[in-house]
Amino acid sequence: MLELQKQIGELANDFENGSSVIAKKGLQLFVDALNSSDLNSEYRIKKLKEEIINAKPSMSALKNIINQAYELYQQGLVADSIKKYLLDKMNDETMRCIDLAKQKIFEMNFPVILTCSFSSTVLKLFESLKKDSYSFQVYAYKSIWRNRDYSEQMIDACKKMGIESKQIESKDLNDNLPSIGIIGADSQIPDKGVVNGVPSLEFAKLLKSKKIGLYVIAESFKKSDEVHIADGFEFVESYLISRIFFD
């Protein structure tokens, strides 16, 4: 149990990864615990579910996936089947959203994609576009929080895939740049907006002022009924968003 508590603590202090990756890591913790002999009562399993969710209490993806995992456990599914079902479901939702985003990008055919913060889902979009031989550059808006540069994290990941990318600031964005803005989301609040890493709100307002469309990829497993904003995150209202791609 000590090792499990240590891993939950590490999950709480994971400020490198986005909500999709953290939800998958939380799911792995839950499944590993079910497969171990440490959890020998319904009470302890329910308590574990709550502890994993409370590692990132404002992150709807983690909460939704762990709650679904617990429901599947109560229905009698074994741990490995729970993991496979939910990972397949998450990946299917992500790919459907990416396909919608690609359709819009192909339709607009802009050579520059602007992004902000770091999103593994947006990175998957870039990877898919490259595989389709779409010619584009990534401009990552300077995104720093707690001395971590998330824009550089995105740039490094793009360069590893052979995608030309660079960091930009507000002064580098002009009105004549043929571009489209794409970000991920940590939470999607239907008809209200999305929660994403800083400085997403500043980025959204800047694009609005430049009349550049901002599009958000937000899978169903990130839905929330309420706006929960943790340190390092911001709420972007719907009026700043051209469209949210959801499955």
Looking up residue 115, the CATH number of its domain turns out to be 3.40.50.10470
Structure tokens at 140: 């990552």
pLDDT at 4: 83
Token digits for 197? 């890493």
Residue of higher predicted confidence among 40 and 23: 23
Of 49, 69, 90, the last residue of a domain is 90
Q: Is 2's pLDDT higher than 80?
A: no
Distance between CA atoms of residues 132 and 220, nearest Å: 25
Task: Give the pLDDT score at 40.
Answer: 66
**Which residues constitute the domain of residue 26?**
2-90
Looking at the fold, whether 113 and 222 belong to one and the same domain comes out as: yes
- Average pLDDT over the chain reads 94
Residue-wise pLDDT for 64-115, tens only, equals: 999 999 999 999 999 999 999 999 999 999 999 999 999 999 999 999 999 9
Residues 220 and 105 in one domain: yes
Q: Are residues 42 and 129 in the same domain?
A: no
Cα three-residue angle 6-75-7, rounded to 5 degrees = 5
Answer yes or no: do 192 and 218 share one domain.
Answer: yes
How is 166-205 classified by DSSP, letter by letter?
EEE-GGG--TT--EEEEE--SEEETTTEEEEETTHHHHHH
In the chain, the percentage of residues whose pLDDT exceeds 70 is: 98
- Average pLDDT, integer, range 229-241: 94
Please give the pLDDT value at position 36.
82
Given a contact cutoff of 8 angstroms between Cβ atoms, the answer to whether 142 and 206 are in contact is no
Mean pLDDT on 153-178: 94
Q: Which residues, at least 6 apart from 98, have a Cβ–Cβ distance to it below 8 Å?
A: 121, 124, 125, 128, 217, 245
Domain end position, chosen among 90, 108, 133: 90
CB 192 within 8 A of CB 238: yes
Give the count of alpha carbons within 13 A of 175, CB side only: 2
Q: What are phi and psi of 13, to 5 degrees?
A: -100, 15
Regarding beta strands 187-189 and 193-197, do their DSSP bridges make them parallel or antiparallel, or are they unpaired?
Answer: antiparallel
Residues 184 and 102 in one domain: yes
CATH code of the domain covering residue 62: 1.20.120.420
Provide mean pLDDT across the span 170-180. 90
Q: Where are the beta strands (DSSP E) in the chain?
A: 112-116, 137-141, 144-145, 148-149, 165-168, 179-183, 187-189, 193-197, 214-217, 233-237, 243-245
What pLDDT, in 10s, does the model give residues 207-224? 999 999 999 999 999 999
Same-domain check for residues 112 and 220: yes
**Number of domains the chain is built from:** 2
